[in-house]
């Protein structure tokens, strides 16, 4: 049974057969090639936003790429920073893929965005992706003064797999004694390897864009084994964390028809019960990656909500 009738009319184009895909070992490289660049660059091509690519050498010799976006003309005032992790199911994606949203945030809010090009599974299984994100965050903090960033006003942000990595980064920073992250912005985050493996989601979710089959492949690639078993690290699957107290202020949104809806609601509930200031939005009729369309009432509401929250938390 299809639940297409529940999808908001503004998102109908995302339910077309042309938008359907399934990630597996055979299709992975094709999907990486197709989804490495941004959609809608025409919306931001004239914005006064500069971009710069830098590299930092990690302990294992890897050259970690970071893409920095900031206002083209800026004052001497220190800029708050959104430290960003892109989506892609842990197996695909690039910082450039989210260039439109990141440039829009810079232009609207007058902030900087630092987007990390973490290594992808299955070539680089856990813990390499989250450790790359940790290293990129450490670089951002260490270079804040030289770059004109305000190290006391840094939040993390990620969508889908990037949202899961943002949640994992917060756990990792807390457990390593680093409380410098001001907030975490988890956009329909990928948090629980048990979804679509040992736990079957509700029937209406996950029909479009990111499916149960793709989710199982993504988690298997990250973990290096079948998802849903025992002993999975919370730094890989944050929903596995026994304790979520002491985490930074959280903003989260998801779609009512997103495969991750139930795991996201459960994680937000646990954060609230642990005393973590948490704001949660669930958009009716929204599917995975719905805001990629940029226009339409749901995408525009999500943009309004996240910008309002950032303004308040970053004191803009």
Could you give the 3-state DSSP secondary structure of residue 282? Answer: strand
Q: What pLDDT does residue 267 have?
A: 98
The dihedrals phi and psi of 111, each to the nearest 5 degrees, come to: -115, 180
Above 90 in pLDDT, residue 75? no
Q: What percentage of residues in the chain have a pLDDT greater than 90?
A: 89
Q: How far apart are CA 168 and CA 238, in angstroms?
A: 6
pLDDT per position as a tens digit, 159-205: 999 999 999 999 999 999 999 999 999 999 999 999 979 999 999 99
Cis peptide before 127 (omega within 30 of 0): yes
Instruction: Show the DSSP H helices in the chain as ranges.
Output: 28-34, 99-109, 128-142, 144-147, 161-175, 212-223, 261-273, 297-313
pLDDT-based confidence at residue 126 (cuts at 50, 70, 90): very high
pTM value > 0.75: yes
Q: What pLDDT does residue 119 have?
A: 98
Q: Is 196 exposed, middle or buried (0-12, 13-18, 19+ CB in 10 A)?
A: buried
Q: How far apart are CA 216 and CA 225, in angstroms?
A: 10
Beta-carbon count within 10 A of 212 CB: 17
Domains identified in the chain and CATH numbers: 4-313 (3.40.50.1820)
Can you say whether residue 263 is alpha, beta or left, with left for phi > 0 and alpha for psi between -120 and 50 degrees?
Answer: alpha
Question: What's the average model confidence in pLDDT over 251-271?
Answer: 98
Q: What pLDDT does residue 36 have?
A: 73
pLDDT-based confidence at residue 17 (cuts at 50, 70, 90): confident
Q: How far apart are CA 259 and CA 277, in angstroms?
A: 24
Question: What's the average model confidence in pLDDT over 56-76?
Answer: 95
Q: What percentage of residues in the chain have a pLDDT greater than 70?
A: 100
Q: How far apart are CA 129 and CA 135, in angstroms?
A: 10
Beta-carbon count within 10 A of 93 CB: 24
Q: Which residues contact 99 (CB under 8 A, 6 or more apart)?
A: 38, 41, 44, 51, 67, 69
Q: What pLDDT does residue 310 have?
A: 98
Q: What pLDDT does residue 19 have?
A: 84
pLDDT-based confidence at residue 22 (cuts at 50, 70, 90): confident
Q: How far apart are CA 190 and CA 120, in angstroms?
A: 15
Q: What pLDDT does residue 29 have?
A: 94
Answer for the pair 118, 172: CB distance below 8 angstroms, yes or no.
no
Above 80 in pLDDT, residue 282? yes
Q: How far apart are CA 41 and CA 13, in angstroms?
A: 18
Q: What pLDDT does residue 42 have?
A: 82
Using the structure block, give the residue that is written with the tokens 């679509």.
Answer: 196
Q: How far apart are CA 188 and CA 282, in angstroms?
A: 9
Beta strands (DSSP E) in the chain are 49-57, 63-71, 79-85, 112-117, 149-159, 183-187, 249-255, 278-283
Cα of 293 vs its chain's centroid, Å: 16
Q: How far apart are CA 274 and CA 254, in angstroms?
A: 21
pLDDT per position as a tens digit, 208-227: 999 999 999 999 999 999 99
Mean pLDDT is lowest, of 114-118, 139-143, 195-199, for 195-199
Question: What's the average model confidence in pLDDT over 65-86?
Answer: 95
Q: Is 42 exposed, middle or buried (0-12, 13-18, 19+ CB in 10 A)?
A: exposed
pLDDT per position as a tens digit, 29-63: 999 988 777 777 888 889 999 999 999 999 999 99
The chain-wide mean pLDDT, for the chain, equals 95
Using the structure block, give the residue that is written with the tokens 């900031």.
Answer: 70
């Amino acid at each position: 049974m299809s639940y297409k009738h529940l999808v908001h009319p503004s998102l109908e184009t995302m339910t077309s057969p042309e938008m359907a895909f399934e990630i597996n070992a055979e299709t992975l490289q094709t999907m990486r090639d197709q989804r490495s660049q941004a959609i809608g660059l025409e919306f931001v091509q004239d914005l006064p936003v500069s971009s710069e690519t830098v590299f930092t050498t990690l302990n294992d010799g890897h050259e970690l790429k970071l893409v920095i976006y900031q206002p083209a003309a800026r004052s001497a005032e220190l800029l708050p920073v959104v430290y960003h992790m892109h989506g892609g199911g842990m197996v695909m994606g690039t910082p450039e893929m989210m260039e439109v949203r990141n440039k829009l945030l810079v232009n609207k809010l007058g902030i900087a965005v630092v987007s990390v090009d973490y290594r992808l599974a299955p070539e680089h299984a856990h813990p390499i992706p989250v450790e790359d994100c940790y290293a990129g965050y450490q670089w951002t903090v260490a270079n804040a003064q030289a770059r004109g960033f305000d190290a006391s006003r840094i939040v993390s942000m990620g969508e889908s797999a990037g949202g899961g990595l943002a949640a994992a980064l917060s756990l990792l920073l807390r457990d390593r004694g680093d409380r410098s992250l001001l907030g975490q912005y988890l956009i329909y985050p990928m948090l629980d390897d048990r979804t679509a493996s040992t736990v079957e989601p509700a029937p209406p979710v996950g029909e479009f864009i990111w499916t149960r089959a793709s989710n199982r492949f993504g988690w298997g690639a990250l973990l290096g084994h079948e998802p849903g078993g025992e002993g999975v690290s919370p730094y890989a699957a944050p929903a596995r964390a026994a304790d979520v107290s002491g985490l930074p202020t959280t903003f989260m949104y998801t779609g009512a028809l997103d495969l991750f809806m139930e795991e996201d609601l459960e994680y937000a509930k646990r954060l609230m019960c642990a005393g973590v200031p948490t704001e949660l939005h669930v958009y009716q009729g929204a599917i995975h990656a719905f805001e990629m369309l940029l226009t339409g009432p749901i995408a525009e509401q999500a943009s309004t909500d996240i910008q309002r929250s950032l303004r308040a938390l970053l004191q803009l």
